[in-house]
Structure 1
């Protein structure tokens, strides 16, 4: 019977680079001919991925499945936690909403069910694949949570997986964080750590060597590699990553793309293709004083649309966006929650998001939204009409609302229905379709129309984002293979399974 060889990557903290390293190993194993699956037992993220059967999992596991060349399933992320407000989150089980829970309720009442779900998914994956790349979350040294944790060392024990600890040197104090993490682990778990990877290194490696030797002598744990800081086009899953993005315009770029950053921003990977465009400056805005007059303004998705509308009002962005429409020729896009905000009213009769019954929107689109208890998660494709041209587009929907368009033409013609809304002058556009800008022909046309408006020549050669994405997987795998002792990790994977029939 097939039984996968597992490896688990844990970090000293969130955003240490676990997801990226795990993605690299998914690609490495797949290129070496192993049928490989990613796994993260419990993911907390507002960036989602929709599977072929219309289920919702963490974005990182969907991307890792793509890197491995396999179809993503909910077994790869059986539990997804989507924070909706302070100390409360929507719990998604096998791709469908289960219940909204407070943190204490989740910890006290969900633990045993969660454990069962994780065991079942591990069993399925271990028997269907050759390699299993498991990703932890946060830190395994959260001593206040470890008695009921569902995502780090307990999962490593369940899978009998060796563990590689990932530390982020860019933040400083990497040796202290690695040593401290190891010292706080229980003895049985510390023995599971086969080595560490130091991530995001910049500079002269020779200057780091004394520290590497000291670390190995002090801890007895091997340094398996030092991965240089590299820019990879791999989707971010955690809003922590937003801190790395610009808040000011790059004046060397012709097109200014501003993205509203509200507290419950979700699926902000929608704007990733603009980072690849040579003439686009992308910046995140959370204060009215920084809005300016961008060429393109994007209101992305939100896990709590009503609360984020209140954020717009509290920060002055609500008024600033309306004035921007009146006084400039900025093109505005609302995606999912952003689309709802652009409408006239958002009603919440079932109190899905807040105790409030309704909130007024920006009233830039003739749309009224009613939030619903049932979530829509579906892959979609259709025909988008913009500037008298038609474009084939495909993406996905994740939302808990229904929007009624009172007048005007829809934006996208889907099979059996329509989606979105736009103003007559096509300056304000709303849609539920995520990944809209991943469609190259539409994005190229949009950006070149902005250039023409600014009396600039259009760019005839622009990147094809999905090709860049595929190449990014290989570039990442090449980088990790060059700087990490992959063979040593594979030998340990075999040792942990008793040296069974998984020869290299």
Structure 2
């Protein structure tokens, strides 16, 4: 049994991709590997084999391990929503809503449940690769911590610190982390990795050795900017505005970046199509008038995001697009926004109990306290698909008599306008299927490349694993992991 934890000098240093790459590298060596993240904060989530939800990054890491995603891989998940609150998910199920201060007070009490999941995973595999959250250098958050050193010390897991050289200041970031850590935390760190290096890494040799000397930790290698990582789904919505526009295509598909956008990886298969220019529209910018399709994405707080859409004037852009005959697809929260009204009688999302939708579908949504979490298969646009549902709400109305999809268990999903111009669905991930994506693009007047999106992601994981084998001392990392003492 072994374990290794990657922590970062900050957020967005590439921990998720490195964990996925190491999971695949170890799996390719014939080891039984599983991923683990004690606490995550993300509105991008996936439905697990045991009927719960975990962060999308951990589902990707499970794929890297060639394992089914399970709620034990991410026992605590925070999903930010309106009014500075987050939905608390424990072992895959909703346990309530917390404010930032309340969670800081409560999180320490969740450690026993985190360790329960940890023990179950450890019993099933040869090695667990663990991802931290944020940075252990945030010493103001150390008391009650379950995400970084609090977990590492409780589970006695060796830690490797990841620094991002692309953002600059990596020497100070790593050495500074060593300087502020409590000595009993610092002793858990076995070394460091430099990530996202561009150019000739030999030029950083002096800096690398200076980090080793000043921090007293060994280096495990310098990872270059791995192009294959762009083919992986992103977990953090920060990347959307950073990469708002993509390469030119025959048609434009536009998606507004809502403040509480969720599961935006639904659009990744469209982004990969050569005929498509996917435009992620940031706040302050109009939705392009020449787009063929507007996609309204998932949302963690539909009422708040509907209000934000009006504040941005995107509702005017969408209605004008509709009058011009443009097509519109709403997914999950986006589907709810297409209806006449959204009601929240239990105050699930916050103090605002109702809002008018865009009125492009003759349906109405009532948010419910029960959360639908299930994997589904069915037929839509005459083609088979697979995906998953993850929503708190029931939608009904005359347009539901024209469902978007027929589910294999006999249920219907979503709604369509009488002319098929407007479509809404609760199913995430359906566009990953080649057949359904091809049918949607054909309706827009272009051909699909026919690429297998899942195969592309899997190939990217292999490419990343190969890159890590080349640029990291993977043997030393494995030896470090296998030296971990099991509690």
Q: Same fold (TM over 0.5)?
A: yes
Residue 298 of structure 1: SS of its match in structure 2?
strand
Are 1:432 and 2:426 counterparts? yes
In the alignment, structure 1 residue 93 sits paired with structure 2 residue 86: no
RMSD across aligned positions (CA):
1.7
Is it true that 1:395 corresponds to 2:393 in the alignment? no
Equivalences for residues 19-418 of structure 1 within 5 A: 19-112=16-109, 114-231=110-227, 232=229, 233-247=231-245, 250=247, 252-287=248-283, 289-293=285-289, 294-327=291-324, 329-384=325-380, 386=381, 390-407=382-399, 408-414=401-407, 415-418=409-412
Take 1:109 and 1:465, find their aligned partners in 2: how far apart are those partners? 40
> Which has the higher mean CA deviation after the structures are superposed, 306-315 or 63-72?
63-72
Give the deviation of 1:480 after TM superposition: 0.9
Shift of the alpha carbon at 1:442? 1.3
Out of 359-368 and 489-498, give the one that drifted further. 489-498
Aligned to 2:444: 450
Shift of 1:158: 2.1
Contact 1:287–1:317 under 8 Å retained in 2:
no
1:80–1:91 contact (8 Å) kept in structure 2 = yes
State the secondary structure of the residue aligned to 1:272.
helix
Shift of the 287–220 alpha-carbon distance from structure 1 to 2, 3 Å rule, reads closer
Shift, 1:76, TM fit: 0.8
Q: Measured at CA, do residues 365 and 169 of structure 1 come closer, stay the same or move farther in structure 2, by a change above 3 Å?
A: same
Q: Following TM superposition, where does structure 1 have runs of at least 4 consecutive aligned residues deviating by more than 4 angstroms?
A: none
Go from structure 1 to structure 2 and tell me whether the alpha carbon gap of 1:463 and 1:161 turns closer, same or farther (over 3 Å shift).
same
Give, in angstroms, the shift of residue 324 of structure 1.
Answer: 1.3
Give the TM-score normalised by the residue count of structure 2.
0.96
Unaligned runs of 5+ in 2: none
Distance, in Å, in 1 between the alignment partners of 2:356 and 2:337 is 8
CA deviation after TM superposition for structure 1 residue 449, in Å:
3.5
Q: Aligned-pair distance for 1:451?
A: 3.3
Q: Secondary structure at the match of 1:374?
A: coil
CA distance in 2, matches of 1:215, 1:54: 45
- Asked whether the equivalents of residues 261 and 286 of structure 1 are also in contact (C-alpha less than 8 Å), the reply is yes
Gaps of 5+ in 1: 453-457, 499-504
**Cα gap change, 1:160/1:287 in structure 2, threshold over 3 Å: closer, same or farther?**
closer
Whether 2:468 is the aligned partner of 1:476: answer no
Give yes or no for contact 2:376–2:389 (8 Å, CA) kept in 1: yes
Contact 1:332 1:427 in 2 (8 A): yes
SS for the counterpart of 2:456 is: helix
1:315-370: CA deviation from partner (whole Å, max 9, x where unpaired): 1111221111112x322110000000011110111111122231100001111000
Determine helix, strand or coil for the equivalent of 2:442. Answer: helix
Task: State the alpha-carbon separation in 2 of the partners of residues 83 and 393 from structure 1.
Answer: 29
Q: Distance in 1 between matches of 2:13 and 2:186?
A: 19
